Amino acid sequence: MIKVENVSQSYGLTNVSCHIPQGKLVGIMGANGAGKSTLLKSIAGILPLASGQIWLNTCKLTEMTARQKSEQLAYLAQNTAIQWDLSAYDVIALGLPFPLKPKYEQEKVRSISNRFSVSALLDKPFQQLSGGEKARVQLARCCIKNAPLLLADEPIASLDPYYQLDIMEQLKSLTPKQTCVVAIHHLSLAYKFCDKVILLDKGKVLACGETQAVLNAENLAKAFGVRAEFDLVRKEILGIEKLES
């Protein structure tokens, strides 16, 4: 469980409070500049808080050591470029929390690779992979440590529709054993896959709760200036149009 209490950041958030339940896929949404990445980085402990408090279960984030935070969470940044000449295997192995003997390292890497369907890529140079393949390898790198909490900053932003669906399915499959929090722009996929949504508007929480309750006509108009049609039974957004200014 994550509890955010009156968190402010000088460049993006104002008195943000929300609750993220355990074992759910939670989307952080909002227009460009709404504060999605800032909130995610604050929860990850990357950005120091200007004010307020964040709790990971019963522990204050500000009082946790780097090792304690590493044991509790994994963070997938927007820019996950790898500058070194590494194979996909090497990139995934970077996610291990501590060195292992070669035999056990290989078992761990191959196990997580099977889960994310990247076993055939392990010997390939990471730089030669497609965008979707890189995204899956990076997700495997984050998940190999098996942290209870995964934070992902717009993991599907640069992917084609197939891999957007693929990554969201992979994230959903991690629950309920793990909690996944993703900053996401894609309304339809958030509506389909997320259990809960935190909707930000200009650095403040516009709405927070079950996805179908938050992504309603009124909130979409306020946050994005759009209207949409909803299929509540199939959990789908059927059409999105700009509102007249």
Return all residues near 161 (Cβ < 8 A) that are at least 6 apart: none
Output the pLDDT for position 195: 97
Residue 122: band (very low, low, confident or very high) from pLDDT cuts 50, 70, 90: very high
Q: Could you report the per-residue pLDDT of 28-66, keeping only the tens digit for each?
A: 999 999 999 999 999 999 999 999 999 999 999 999 999
Average pLDDT for the chain:
93
Question: Cα 192–193–194 angle (5° rounding)?
Answer: 110
Can you give the residue range of the structural domain that contains 58?
A: 2-242
CATH number of the domain enclosing 113 = 3.40.50.300
pLDDT band at 1 (very low <50, low <70, confident <90, very high): confident
pLDDT in tens, 58-115: 999 999 999 899 999 999 998 777 778 899 999 999 999 888 999 999 999 999 999 8
Which two tokens mark 186? Answer: 């894609």
User: Within 10 A of 86 (CB to CB), how many other CB atoms are there?
Assistant: 15
Per DSSP, what are the bridge partners of residue 204? Answer: 201
Whether the CB-CB separation of 181 and 22 falls below 8 Å is answered with no
pLDDT tens by residue, 124-145:
999 999 888 888 899 999 999 9
> Counting beta carbons within 10 angstroms of the beta carbon of residue 10, is it exposed (0 to 12), middle (13 to 18) or buried (19 or more)?
exposed
Which of helix, strand or coil describes residue 230?
strand
Name the domain count of the chain: 1
